[in-house]
Amino acid sequence: MAKPTDVTEADFESEVLQSPVPVLVDLWAEWCGPCRMVGPVIQQVADETEGVLKVVKVDIDGNPGIPSKLGVLNIPTMVLFKGGEEVKRIVGFKNKPQLLKILAEHVDGIAAAT
């Protein structure tokens, strides 16, 4: 079972921008209700895409520089990176089929849920 990795400002570049595989970054905060709703979905996506997609979580309260650098105004926000570049931004709660469909459009090896 894959577990999303917690990423900080100190390792964001090495874990996300320099990753050889696409990375889904979940920007969240403990006090955010919709973030807590999307947490289990992120876990399921990490499980189902292991080896094809790296899934990481960024606590915006502990790492304010990351959302600032990315221009994130609302959470939950998920940002998909490929080759160190942002390719897709997803704002707000998405269920697993919705999220997998979006990811399948950008990442080879992910099947869209039906």
Known catalytic residues?
32, 35
Give the C-alpha distances (Å, rounded to integers) separating 74 from 22, 34, 54, 90, 91: 22, 11, 22, 10, 7
Tell me the two tokens of residue 53: 């997609």
**DSSP helix/strand/coil, 38:** helix
* Cross-strand partners of 27: 58, 77
CB 62 within 8 A of CB 28: no
Q: What is the rounded distance in angstroms from the CA atom of residue 36 to the CA atom of residue 17?
A: 25
